[in-house]
């Protein structure tokens, strides 16, 4: 007999076969699909996040756990009604105009998705207009921007100003990240938050929604 | 092999604090240590100071040159900061870096055209970060040709194929290494150059990963590195790697290092 704890444990250990087996067993035993996701798969990723922040799990292990978790979700998903499907919130994510560095953004996406957020990744080198369009189209609670260079961080300022003139600023919380970013800078451009790494970004989103 | 000392980089906390406090003595001391360890260029980077990068970069160049007389490797993605630093630089600087990203390319090309400046050509384009050996070779091809057409000689070009973290994709190490070989074989006379710390991002025991990666890259033909020259094991490993790669006639450099006690840690 499999338990939700088994599912969570398989995610933490990055065991693909085990997670599929436990999830299937739980489905067959009649467990609620959302329960399997929230209290098994996402719970496992929460543990991963804690270990990652503490420095005793590392990036490739986190990536493996996320992949294993996604495989578990795939098994459960067909059993969920659209009306039932719930996410912790919607996040629009992208790197700002002029910045093509996507490794950090992709890690953040993976951690957010694994924590139960619905992430709309609009990609790299995105001008302010695209962020505004994404707010209109996807109605996110959070707008997350990334920039790695001192020469591109100002595009974050430009983007916030643009969505303000478009009347969209009040609809979203804005969070930013990237190597040169500091809390001080975040405040100076009127962002609602800053996170120094992917796991902290998830914690920040949980606080803000 | 060209060694660029990487220590004066604002992403290092001690340097960021020294820059912020305008602690000239500390910066000078680091520069002198790097020079004495045998670097060819001293990298200067003020890349975490939003809005003040240009001012700080100029300050660093002047300090480093006053203390050591060594040429600098001016390390900034911002063409305006590069130009400001160049204006106060004496001798032949290295520029780190030009890339195929349109804005950076168009701003930096006129600065280096027809000069004797050393140029790091970073394999990055507006299409994003290259993933494969072929991606890198294609960008290197365009950059090298553009630079040569604009009267930058091949031996002044240092192609950086762009190191990406092996912790985020298994193939990132080998695609980079193969790109070194492909570039060195395709464009005879050009150099290759890179920093190492990206390879080990997200992994523990980074020093060991960085050093082993450097040795593997030297075996593929890499002839320039941006490193911590005070890391004696790294410096000794590079000497050995070049000897083993067939770039040390009669093992002269190896034996010189041995006699100088550089294998005693």
3-state secondary structure chain B: CEEEECCCECCCHHHHHHHHCCCHHHHHHHHHHHHHCCCCEEEEECCCCCCCHHHHHHHHHHHHHHHHCCCEEEECCCHHHHHHHHHHCCCCCEEEEEEECHHHHHHHHHHHCCCCCEEEEEEEECCECCCCHHHHHHHHHHHHHHHHHCCCCHHHEEEECCCCCCCCCCCHHHHHHHHHHHHHHHCCCCEECEECHHHHCCCCCHHHHHHHHHHHHHHCCCCEEEECCCCHHHHHHHHHHHHHCCCCHHHHHHHHHHHCCCCCC
Q: How far is B49 from chain A (nearest CA, A)?
A: 7
User: Can you give the residue ranges of every domain in chain A?
Assistant: 4-79, 90-208
Share of chain B above pLDDT 90, in %: 93
Which strands sit side by side in the sheet containing B72-75, from one edge to the other? B191-192, B157-160, B118-125, B94-100, B72-75, B41-44, B2-5, B224-227, B194-195
Predicted pLDDT at B37: 95
Q: Exposed/middle/buried for A87, CB within 10 Å: 0-12, 13-18, 19+?
A: middle
Smallest CA–CA distance from B124 into chain A, residue? A100
Whole-number CA gyration radius for chain A: 18
Contact list in B for residue A63 (CB cut-off 8 A) is 167-168
pLDDT tens digits for range A12-65: 999 999 999 999 999 999 999 999 999 999 999 999 999 999 999 999 999 999
Q: How many Å lie between the alpha carbon of B167 and the closest alpha carbon of chain A?
A: 5
Question: Does B3 have pLDDT greater than 70?
Answer: yes
Give the β-pairing of B157-160 and B118-125: parallel
Nearest CA in chain A to B104: A98
CB contact under 8 A, B129 and A149: no
**How many other C-beta atoms lie within 10 A of the C-beta of residue A84?**
10
Cα separation values, B241 from B67, B132, B220, B257, B260, Å: 31, 25, 10, 13, 17
Q: Contacts of residue A59 in chain B, CB cutoff 8 Å?
A: 165, 167-168, 201-203
Strands B72-75 and B94-100: parallel
Class of domain A4-79: mainly alpha
CB contact under 8 A, B103 and A101: no
In terms of Cα–Cα distance, which of B159, B223, B231 is closest to B197?
Answer: B231
Q: What is the pLDDT of residue A84?
A: 66
Of the candidates A41, A113, A118, the one whose C-alpha atom is nearest the C-alpha of residue A85 is A118
CB contact under 8 A, A106 and B168: yes
Pick from A27, A16, A153, B176: which is nearest to A4 by CA? A27
Shortest CA gap A101–chain B (Å)? 7
Instruction: Find chain A residues with C-beta within 8 A of B50's C-beta.
Output: 150, 153-154, 180, 185
B41: closest CA among B144, B130, B156? B156
In A, minimum Cα distance to B200 occurs at A59
Contacts A–B by Cβ distance under 8 A:
59
Tell me if B201 and A58 make a contact (CB, 8 A cut-off): no
Cβ–Cβ gap B201/A59 under 8 Å:
yes
Under the banding of pLDDT at 50, 70 and 90, the label for residue B21 is: very high
Mean pLDDT, all residues of chain B: 96
Q: What is the pLDDT of residues B115-146, one digit of tens each?
A: 999 999 999 999 989 999 999 999 999 999 99
- In the numeric block, which tokens belong to residue A190? 């009127």
* Both structure tokens of B253: 């450099």
A chain contacts of residue B103, beta-carbon cutoff 8 Å: 98
- Interface residues on A facing B, Cβ-Cβ cutoff 8 A: 58-60, 63, 98, 100-103, 106-107, 124-125, 149-151, 153-154, 179-180, 185
pLDDT at A83: 65
Q: Describe the crossing of helices B206-219 and B172-186 by its angle, rounded to 10 degrees.
A: 30
Instruction: Tell me the C-alpha distance between A179 and A194, whole Å.
Output: 11
Residue A100: list chain B partners with CB under 8 A.
101, 124, 126, 128-129
Which percentage of chain B shows pLDDT scores above 70? 100
Nearest to A169 by CA among A180, A157, A185: A157
Distance from CA of B48 to the nearest CA of A (A): 5
Chain B interface, Cβ < 8 Å to A:
11, 47-50, 53, 76-78, 81, 101, 103, 124, 126, 128-129, 164-165, 167-168, 201-204
Q: How many CB atoms lie within 10 A of CB A136?
A: 11
Where does A90-208 sit in CATH, by number? 3.40.50.280
Question: CA of B50: which chain A residue's CA is closest?
Answer: A150
- Predicted structure pTM score: 0.89
Residues in chain A, pLDDT under 50: none
A69 contacts A8 by C-beta, under 8 angstroms: no
How many Cβ atoms sit within 10 Å of the Cβ of residue B117?
Answer: 18
Tell if the CB–CB gap between B128 and A102 is shorter than 8 Å: yes
3-state secondary structure of A55: coil
């Amino acid at each position: 007999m499999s338990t939700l704890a088994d599912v969570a444990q398989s995610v933490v250990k990055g065991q693909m076969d085990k997670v599929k087996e436990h999830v299937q067993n739980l489905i067959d035993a009649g467990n609620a699909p959302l329960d399997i996701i929230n209290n098994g798969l996402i719970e496992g990723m929460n543990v991963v996040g804690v270990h990652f922040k503490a420095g005793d799990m590392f990036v490739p292990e986190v990536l493996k756990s996320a992949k294993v978790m996604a495989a578990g979700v795939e098994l459960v998903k067909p059993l969920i009604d659209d009306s039932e499907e719930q996410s912790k919130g919607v996040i629009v994510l992208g790197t700002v105009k002029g910045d093509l560095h996507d490794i950090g953004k992709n890690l953040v996406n993976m951690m957010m998705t694994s924590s139960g957020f619905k992430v709309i990744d609009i990609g790299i080198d995105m001008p302010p207009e695209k962020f505004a369009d994404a707010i209109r189209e996807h109605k996110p609670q959070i707008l997350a921007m990334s920039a790695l260079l001192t020469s591109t961080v100002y595009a974050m300022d430009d983007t916030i100003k643009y969505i303000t003139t478009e009347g969209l600023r009040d609809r979203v919380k804005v969070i930013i990240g990237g190597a040169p970013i500091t809390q001080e800078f975040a405040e100076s451009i009127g962002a609602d938050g800053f996170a120094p790494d992917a796991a902290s970004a998830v914690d920040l989103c949980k606080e803000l929604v | 092999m060209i060694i660029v000392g990487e220590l004066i980089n604002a992403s290092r906390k001690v340097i960021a604090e020294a820059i912020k406090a305008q602690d000239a003595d500390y910066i000078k001391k680091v520069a002198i240590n790097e020079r004495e360890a045998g670097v060819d260029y001293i990298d200067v980077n003020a890349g975490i100071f939003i809005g003040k990068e240009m001012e700080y970069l100029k300050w660093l160049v002047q300090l480093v040159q006053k203390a050591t007389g060594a040429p600098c490797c001016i390390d900034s993605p911002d063409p305006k900061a590069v130009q400001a630093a160049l204006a106060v630089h004496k001798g032949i600087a290295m520029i780190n870096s030009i890339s195929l990203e349109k804005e950076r390319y168009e701003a930096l090309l006129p600065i280096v055209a027809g000069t004797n400046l050393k140029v790091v050509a970073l394999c990055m384009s507006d299409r994003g970060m290259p993933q494969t050996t072929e991606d890198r070779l294609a960008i290197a091809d365009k950059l090298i040709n553009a630079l040569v057409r604009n009267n930058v000689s091949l031996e002044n070009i240092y192609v950086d194929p762009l190191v990406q973290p092996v912790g985020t994709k298994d193939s990132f190490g080998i695609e980079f290494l193969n790109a070194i070989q492909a570039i060195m074989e395709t464009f005879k006379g050009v150099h290759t150059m890179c920093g190492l710390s990206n390879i080990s991002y997200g992994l523990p025991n980074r020093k060991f990963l960085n050093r082993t990666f450097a040795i593997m890259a030297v075996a593929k033909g890499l002839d320039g590195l941006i490193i911590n020259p005070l890391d004696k094991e790294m410096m000794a490993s590079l000497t050995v790697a070049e000897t083993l790669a067939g770039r040390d006639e009669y093992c002269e450099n190896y034996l010189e290092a041995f006699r100088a006690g550089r294998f005693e840690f």
